Structure 1
Amino acid sequence: MTAPARRDSEPGQASFGPRFVTAVSVGSLLNPINSSIIAIALVPIAHHFGVGADATSWLVSALYLATAIGQPVLGRLADRLGPRRIYLAGLVTVAAGGLLGYWAPTLGLLVVARVVIGLGTSAAYPAAMSMVRRRSQRSGGSAPASVMGALAMAGQVSMVLGPPLGGLLDALGGWRWIFLVNLPMAVAGVVSALLWLPRDEPYEQDGAGGGGSLRDLARNRPLLVTYLRNAVTFMATYGFLYGWTQWLEQGRGLTAAVAGLLLMPTSAVGAVVSGLAARADQARWMLPAGAAALLAGCAWLPALDGGASILSLCLLSALFGVQNGLNIVGNQAAMYRQAPPDRIGMAAGLLRTSQYAGAICSALLISLTYGERATDEGLHRLGVVLTAASALLLAGTLVAAVRTGGRRTRVSGRR
Structure 2
Amino acid sequence: MTTNRFALRPTVLFSAAMLPLMSACSNAPAPDRDATPLAPAVSVSVETVASGTNADPVTATGTFGSRDEIPLAFKIGGIVSRVLVDEGATVQRGQLLASLDLREINAAVDKAQVGFDKAQRDQARVQRLAADSVATLAQLQDATSALNAARSDLVTATVNREYATIVAPEGGIVLQRLATAGSNVSPGTPIMLLGGTRRGRVLRVGLPDRDALRVQLGDAATVHFDALPTRTFTGRVQLVGRSADPRTGTYAVEITVSGADALPSGLVGSVSIAARSSTGGGKRGASVSVDALLEADRDSATVYLVAATREAPGDLIAQAKRVRVRGVSGDRVMIEGLAPDARLVTRGAAYVTPGARVRIVTTDTLAAALKASAVTRTAVLP
> Which range, TM-score by smaller chain?
under 0.3
More strand by share: 2
Write 1 or 2 for the structure with the bigger share of helix.
1
Structure index of larger Rg:
2
TM-score (norm 1): 0.16
The normalised TM-score by structure 2 is 0.17
